[in-house]
Structure 1
Amino acid sequence: MRGILGIVCCLPFSALAWAQLPLLSLLPLPEATVEVGQAPRKGWVLYRVRPGDTLAGIAARYGVEAQHIMWSSGLKDHRLQVGQPLRIPLVDQGERPPRVPPGVEAYRVQPGDTLAGVAARFGLTPLELVSANPTLESLDRLVAGSVLYIPREVRGLLVALPEGETLLDLAQRFGLPPVQVARANGIDNPAELRPGDLVLLPGIQARTTYERLLAKQEEERRARLEAERRRQEELRRLAEERRRQQALAQQRARQAQARPVSYQEGGMRWPLAGGFRITTYYGQRGVFQRYHTGIDLAAPQGTPILAAKAGQVRVAGWSAVGYGFHVVLDHGGGKETLYAHMSRIAVRPGQWVEAGQVIGHVGSTGWSTGPHLHFEVRVNGVPRNPLSYLP
C-alpha cells in the first residue's frame, strides 16, 4: 500500500482520475510524510540606499536592469533617498528577461550623451524618445551605462506590463484596439506576456511627461544662471577687496619709507630702506599658481637688504628649491625671517645681526623673473603673512 502511495504522490494532480478520489481518501497517510513545494525560482534582496548611491549604480552592482528594481520596489522615478529600502530582484537562469517588442532597440548611454543628441542620431524627436522612456528624470542629464529604448519602426509609448494586468487591459486604458497593440508588439498569443514585459502602445505620446521635463529643464537653466551670477558677484567682491588690501599695503609701505623706523618690541621693520614696491602679496594667486608664502618687493639690482629684526644667521647660501642666494634669520621663540633671490650675501651662518643691518643685496637668482626680494615670516616653521608683522 505504501508503494502505491509513493507512486501516486509522484504524479501531477491533474493526471489522477477523479474516480480514484474516494479510494485515496480511505488510504491511511504515512505518519512522517512532509510535502515540500518547489523552490522559488526568483526572489529579492532587501537593500537600503547609502549616501552616493544611484539607481543605475545599484543595478549594475547586482547585474539587473534599473527598471526591474523600480518595478519590484514600486518606484515612480529614479530618485533615491538615503535609507530608502529597495527590493533587488534576483532571477535564476530559468527565468527569461523581460520581453522587448520587435523594432525596439536597447541603447546603452555613453559618457557625454544627451537626450537631444541620441534622438537626432536615431531620427527621433525628443518627445518620441521620452515616450519610449517615460521614466526619464531629466532632458539634460543621462546616466552613462543606463539603457534607452529606441523605437526603430512604430513610435509610441513604451510601458512595462503591470502585475495583474493583460495586454487587453492596457489597450482599453489607452483607447486602442487590442489587435493594433498586438500587431505593434508582434504578439500572436497575449497570454505569453508576463508582468514586466515591455509593451509598445502605438501613437501614444508621453506629452505630459515631456512638458514636465521641459519645465524642469528651464528651472535648472535658471538655477545655473543664478548660480553663475552669484559666483561672478563674489569674484568681483573678492577682487575689489584684494585691490583695497593692496592699496592699503602700498600706502603703509610708502608711509614706512617716508618716516624713521619705529616699531614695538616683537615687531619688524621693512627689509628694504626705500625705492621698492610690492608686486606679489601673501596667499593664493591664480588657479594654476602655487600658494605664495611671502611678499615680493621689487627694487633695483644691488639694493641693500636689511635684517627685519635682530637675530642669528641660521642659513646663508644657495637654495636648491628656487630661493637662489638666500638668508634665514632666527629671532628666537620659533620666529624666523627669510630673504631670497639675493645677488650677493653679506653675512655668514652663526653670525648675530642687529635690526636694520645689511645682510645682502637685491638680485634675481633662483626661480625669479626680475630683481626683487622675496621676504617670508615663519612661526614654528609655518609661513605667516609678513604684513601682519610690519609697521
Structure 2
Amino acid sequence: MRGVSGSLWLLVSSLAFAKLPALSPLPLPANTVEVGQAVKKGWVVYEVKPGDTLAGIAARYGVDPRHIMWSSNLQGDRLQVGQRLLIPLVAVEDRSPRVPPGVEVYRVRPGDTLQGVASRYGVSVLELVSANPSLESLDRLVAGSVLYIPRKAKGLVVSLPEGQTLVDLAARFGLSPVAVARANGIQDPAELRPGDLVLLPGIQAKTTYERLLAKQEEERRARLEAERRRQEELRRLAEERRRQQALAQQRTRQVQQAQTQRPQVRRVSYQEGAMRWPLSGFRITTYFGQRGVFQRFHTGIDLAAAYGTPIVAAKAGQVEVAGWSSVGYGFHVVLDHGGGVETLYAHMSRIAVRAGQWVEAGQVIGYVGSTGWSTGPHLHFEVRVGGVVRNPLAYLP
C-alpha cells in the first residue's frame, strides 16, 4: 500500500487467552475454559501529509496527542511528510461511570438526613459534602438519589471533565498524579473516560460546605418566620371568633330583653286615656325602655314607615309645640290632651299643623321623615303623663 496517500490500516489486537485452572486433588465438574471478551482495541496507520500537525490529527480521531506519541514512539510533536503514525483507538463501550475503590454508592431512603448518613458511616458532614459537592441542601435529601460515601481515603470526588486526563485533574488541584492514581486504584490513566469519578485525596469542599451552612441557616430562619406568621394568624382568627361570639351574645340578650318587656304592658282603657295608632303600615323597630348596657333609656317607641307616610293625632287635643327641636327630635309636634297627658311625634319630614291649633283624633299633623338624630325614616312616638314618660304600648290598642 506504499505510495497511496492517506491510506488507513486497521490492526486488530490479538485475542486474550484464558488461564487454565490450577490443579486440584478434587475432580473438576467439567473440563471447560471460560474465555473473556476480547478487548476492542486497534490502531490506525496514518501517513502524514503536508500541513498536518499532531494536534490536528489527534483532534480528527478524537484521541489524546500524547497517546499518538506513545504509540508511534515519537520524541516530540514535530512531524515529517510521509511519516507513518500509529493512532490508538478503543471502541466505545456502554458502561456506568467508574467509581473509585473505597467509595460506596448509597441510595437515599425516605427519612434520611445528611447528618444521619454521616453518623451511620462514621464520617463527618464535611467529608460527605466533599464526596458529593453537587448537594443543594444539608437538610433535604431526595429519596432514591445517590450519595457517595468515602470509606477509606477521604477527599473531593469529581467527575472527569471532557478533554481532560487524570494528570490534568491532579495538576489543577496541586496533587501528585501518582498519589491520585493510587487513591483511585488506577494502573493505566488512559482507561479513564469523561464522566468517571475521581477521588482527589485530602481535598475538602470547604467553600461548598460553608455555602450550604449559610443556606441551612437562611432556611431555618424562613421556617421560624413562617411559623410566627401562622401563629399570629391563628391568634387573630381566635380573637375575631371571640368578638363575633360576644356580639352574638349581646344581640341575644337585647332580643330577650325586648321580648320580656312586651308582655309586661298594662293596657289602659279608653276612659283612662286610650289612644289610636298614629301610623298605618309600619313596623316597630325599637321599644320603650332600656336598650342595652351602653345605650341610653328609650323614652318612646320607634315606628318605621316609608318616607312621607301621613302621621295622625293619637287622640284629640291642642297643638302645644310644632317646630324644630334642638335636642334631637328634628321637626316634631307635641299635643296636649288635658289631664296632664301629652303625646310627642318626632323626626317629621314636614309639619301640617301650627301651635295653638285644635286637632281631632286621626287628623293628619305631619309626615314621616328622618330629621334630627335619626338613621332612617320613622316616627318616634312618646306618651307623657304629668311630665313623666310612659310606655306608649299601654295606651295603644
TM > 0.5 = no
* Larger Rg computed on CA atoms: 2
